[in-house]
Amino acid sequence: MKRPVLQALLAWSIRDLVRRPLESGLLVTALLLTVSVTAAPLLFTQALSTTSGLMFRDAPSLVVRKLNALGWTPIPSDQSVQLAKSVPGVIAARPRVWGRVAGPEGPLTVIGIDRYGPPLPQSTALPGREEAVVGTDVKGDRVAPFLTLTGQRTATLKIVGRSDAMTGIAEPNMVLLHIDDARDLLGVPDGYASDLAIEVFNPAEESAILPDLTAAFPWTVRITTRTESAGIYAAGLARMGGMAVAFLVPALLALCLLVAVTVRDRFGRRFEIGLLKALGWTTGDIVRLQVSRALLIGIPGAAGGIMLALLLVFWPNANWPVRLCPEWQALSSRLSFSPGDAGLILLEVTGLVVLPFLAATIGTVLRCAIADPQEMLERTNF
């Protein structure tokens, strides 16, 4: 096919769309909304999965918490480290001081920084007494640069830096404090920790080591493995997957409607197709015209729909999706995403929405195009 012919066909398909601006605009909008409603839950569940994968990659193998009759209670730091290290297979044990306190705009995760860690990037300044390094989503008091936190007591801290470092505990809603400030806020006495983070030699030993580890402590402890923690989120993901299906059902119904309208539109254009054939257009020319017309609708519709879905899920302040997943709120309000995920979602949405739309266009046109032109000209009221 010569280039001028393709250019002329493309120009004509644009002209053809402009002939019916309302119809063309509605089709683009319908496709855009269908794609976005289809893509948003897919993007969301994929992003949750990616984010939880990243988070648990940095999480400790085991977390030990001391329990009493009222619930969890601070664990003696040095003694518990020694006891844990006495268990074969344990290669490191780190006491952590952390917990949830009330911030100016909701709950925040406070993490105490001391010689045990947690490890931070070099770019993150260590907070001194009455100082705080906050996550990217944490908003301070109205009087900058201070942050008032309320736990066992109330403390006003000076914000000295922001960090999006992955600590394995929390990300954008975390507050890094000097260990002593964290103890004061959380009510953890000196020499005690909130819990004990343990690394094992072989990740496959996480479960196998549990009986020995439990027996090693003279108190009642609860030990959570990385796999168990991930399981909680997997359940959340499964629920989100179910919700995604609930979103997809109306989206697919909308798609059926879109395809039906497209088919009806093409049959409604039998007269024009018959006329074009009578004027010397081949079946190939007509298919090319309709495909370019469908692409002129489909490409902006699909691209706009994907963009809208990305904005809905990843817009910095649009954390509504996270609110749908309660387990997630405690840990993170920011979702991670990779180009590979985007490509996969794009392929899925193309398969789900764009291909049926194109197939409806081409299939109907082909059926018309092989008929005798006079038949199409006569069977249309004109």
Partner 1 sequence: MERGIECRRLMVARRSSDGREKVVIDDLSAQFETGQMAVISGATGAGKSTLLHVLAGLLRPVRGEVVVDGEAVSRWVSSHRDRWRRRVGIVFQHDRLLGDLSAVENVVLPLIPRGGGLKECRRSALAALSRLSVDPLADKLVRNLSGGERQRVAIARALVARPSFLFVDEPTAHQDHKSTEEILKTLAAAAAAGAVVVVTAHDPRILEAEATGSRFRLAQGRLKALR
Interface with partner 1 (CB under 8 A): 2, 4-5, 7-9, 11-12, 15, 19, 272, 275-285, 370, 372-375, 377, 382
Sign of CA dihedral 78, 80, 86, 90: negative
By beta-carbon proximity to partner 1, the closer residue of 82 and 282 is: 282
> Considering the complex, what minimum distance in angstroms separates the CB of residue 362 from partner 1?
16
Strands (E), 60-202: 62-68, 71-73, 75-76, 90-96, 98-103, 106-113, 131-134, 146-150, 154-162, 174-178, 192-193, 195-200
> Considering the complex, what minimum distance in angstroms separates the CB of residue 11 from partner 1?
5
By beta-carbon proximity to partner 1, the closer residue of 11 and 330 is: 11
By beta-carbon proximity to partner 1, the closer residue of 306 and 368 is: 368
By beta-carbon proximity to partner 1, the closer residue of 18 and 70 is: 18
> Considering the complex, what minimum distance in angstroms separates the CB of residue 296 from partner 1?
16
Q: Contact, 66 vs 72, CB < 8 A?
A: yes
> Considering the complex, what minimum distance in angstroms separates the CB of residue 270 from partner 1?
13
> Considering the complex, what minimum distance in angstroms separates the CB of residue 370 from partner 1?
5
- Kindly report the backbone phi and psi dihedral angles of residue 92, in degrees, each rounded to the nearest multiple of 5, phi listed first: -155, 145
By beta-carbon proximity to partner 1, the closer residue of 167 and 292 is: 292
By beta-carbon proximity to partner 1, the closer residue of 164 and 372 is: 372
Enter the DSSP assignment of 371: S
By beta-carbon proximity to partner 1, the closer residue of 15 and 142 is: 15
> Considering the complex, what minimum distance in angstroms separates the CB of residue 284 from partner 1?
8
> Considering the complex, what minimum distance in angstroms separates the CB of residue 297 from partner 1?
19
Rounded CA separation 182/169 (Å): 15
By beta-carbon proximity to partner 1, the closer residue of 195 and 272 is: 272
Q: What token pair was written down for 157? A: 């801290």
Enter the DSSP assignment of 190: T
Enter the DSSP assignment of 89: T
Enter the DSSP assignment of 204: G
Q: Which residues of 213-235 are buried (b: 16+ CB within 10 A; e: fewer)?
A: beebbeeebebbbbeebbeebee
88 Ramachandran zone, left/alpha/beta (phi>0; psi -120 to 50): beta
Q: What is the identity of the amino acid at 106? A: G
Rounded CA separation 363/321 (Å): 38
> Considering the complex, what minimum distance in angstroms separates the CB of residue 17 from partner 1?
13
